[in-house]
Amino acid sequence: MSWNKPTLTLFDDSDRITKGGEKPFQKFVPRTKNQNHTKITGAGHFLREDEGPDIAQLMIDFIQNT
């Protein structure tokens, strides 16, 4: 079985733990191409806690546009 749903990635621009992790994820996970992937500026490792409202809006936009 393969993943066939549109996939969006949201990563921080300076997280030391996941830095650069979006590249292999976007390469190997189907349906990541042509999505509006976003790097969140200035958030820490815990994106949802640091930038929750911004992430929520990005997710709403993604859902409405796919």
Residue 34 counted as domain residue: yes
Residue 60 lies in a domain: yes
- Quick check: is 24 in a domain? yes
Tokens of 58: 């990005």
What would the mean pLDDT of 39-65 be, rounded to a whole number? 89
Range of the structural domain that residue 52 is part of: 12-65
Confidence at 48, pLDDT banded by 50, 70, 90:
confident
Is 4 part of a structural domain of the chain? no
Tell me, yes or no, whether 32 lies in a domain.
yes
List Cβ neighbours of 26 (8 Å cut-off, separation of 6 or more): 9, 32, 33, 37
Note the pLDDT tens digit of each residue in 3-29.
788 999 999 888 888 888 899 989 998
> Above pLDDT 90, what percent of the chain?
41
How many domains does one find in the chain?
1
Whether 28 maps to a domain, the answer reads yes
**CA-CA distance, 28 to 21, in Å (whole number)?**
11
